[in-house]
A = this chain, B = another copy of it.
């Protein structure tokens, strides 16, 4: 048949390793009954993480509002009911919260919203950002609700803004290597130029001026006009947390070179004791550098990946020094072609911007769940890191952040790649990881990315088998 229809070569060339051959092999083994441990993506609830009760109780009521009133009636008769635990009632706080949400939402969950998302949700996000960054009437630069866009996951916004910046193959975007493949794939799809920069692995994936300049001047030599720099902090796939010095370096560099900053901060809650420094805060009262900051409901302690809630915030929109809204209007038009992001994802962004306050009924449970998940994640990261010590020629750098470890395998048997390693690891142990080459890496190095998400007893079972596999494999 129409074998003759030529397709867009940019899309054909685009690579996306996270759902590439290893993903398909794992699916195949699983369909054959093999026990597969999917550490290849950051998908906590697929590995048994329980949703935050507060969020889900509210979403459940938003989908079926008649149950708000019914719950109040039922609770009034609770003493007459047998076999019911007191815990099983929805707290008045959540009932009021949901009712209030629906009042503000006006048209309910089933209607398209404004293309940017409802204003009251963007206002809540704005308050969340300002609180996180310690903005007070006397200190810091407040975020602007009209410069916040709700999106289906963080990916949608990233893609739209990149599309706006890339006109042809001479438009370049600096991305860290290794990178989250959304960035390399999107640049490839748009036919832009991918300009690699290489955080310094051995010093914990930090950055300095030399690294950035090297990348920029390499691009210039190739006649590439660099327009933006992408930073992922905490990083994916390395899991490393950027230090303040690196952040300041990027901002100074971007100011000098006239670059737009993409700050992918979807792991801002996955810090395990380290302090989070947002680019918005670090930017301070700079009025020149355009900054796009991304966040989502998919990661953090909540891990609501499937709901595809996300947002981005714009500071210093390009081409609008005197309050001209031209750039924001174009973003609005782009968002409008998609009509709006999904309302349940929007509600989740509202929920994570509005945690129950201290003293409210759901506070204790919420906090217990939150802290429990974060503590558990950290312990699992440590378990895996510890097992690297028993693997020959493995090193792992950087502070623990995000949901990933990205160990370097310093020795592989002749001719083998890290892809071969990950495929054998999958086949022998069921543990699914992603090869470092899927994210890009310095030539001659080998890595893999593992999400530290499986239950501890699963790790207790698989880690010794991995160690054994590894020490056999690299001996070959």
Contacts and interface: CB of A to CB of B under 8 A. Distances in A.
Interface of A: 1-12, 14, 16, 18-19, 27, 41, 43-46, 51, 56-57, 59-61, 63-64, 66-67, 70, 73-74, 77, 80-84, 88, 107-115, 152-153, 155-156, 159, 163-167, 181-182, 185-186, 189, 227, 258, 260, 287-290, 298, 303-308, 316, 318-321, 327, 330, 332-334, 336-345
Contact of A316 (B1, B60, B107, B339): B1
14 contacts: A1-B290, A6-B167, A7-B319, A14-B337, A43-B111, A60-B61, A60-B64, A74-B81, A110-B305, A112-B306, A113-B306, A152-B152, A155-B339, A307-B344
A2 B258 contact: yes
A67 B60 contact: yes
Contacts of A319: 1-3, 5, 7
A340 to B, nearest CB: 7
B339 A342 contact: no
Contacts of A6: 167
A255 B60 CA distance: 48
A342 B8 contact: no
B5 A318 contact: yes
A338 B310 CA distance: 12
Contacts of A227: 5
Contacts of A88: 66, 70
Contact of A8 (B112, B156, B166): B166
Given A74-B81, A303-B110, A337 B165 contact: no
Nearest to A337: B185
B112 A290 contact: no
A288 B4 CA distance: 11
A304 to B, nearest CB: 5
B155 A337 contact: yes
B41 A306 contact: no
Contact of A338 (B1, B74, B155): B155
A455 to B, nearest CB: 14
Given A5-B319, A110-B304, 15 more contacts: A2-B260, A4-B258, A7-B327, A19-B332, A43-B111, A74-B84, A80-B81, A110-B305, A110-B306, A112-B298, A112-B305, A156-B338, A308-B340, A308-B343, A344-B344
B152 A342 contact: yes
A258 B1 CA distance: 9
A142 to B, nearest CB: 18
A84 to B, nearest CB: 7
A11 B59 contact: no
A59 B27 CA distance: 27
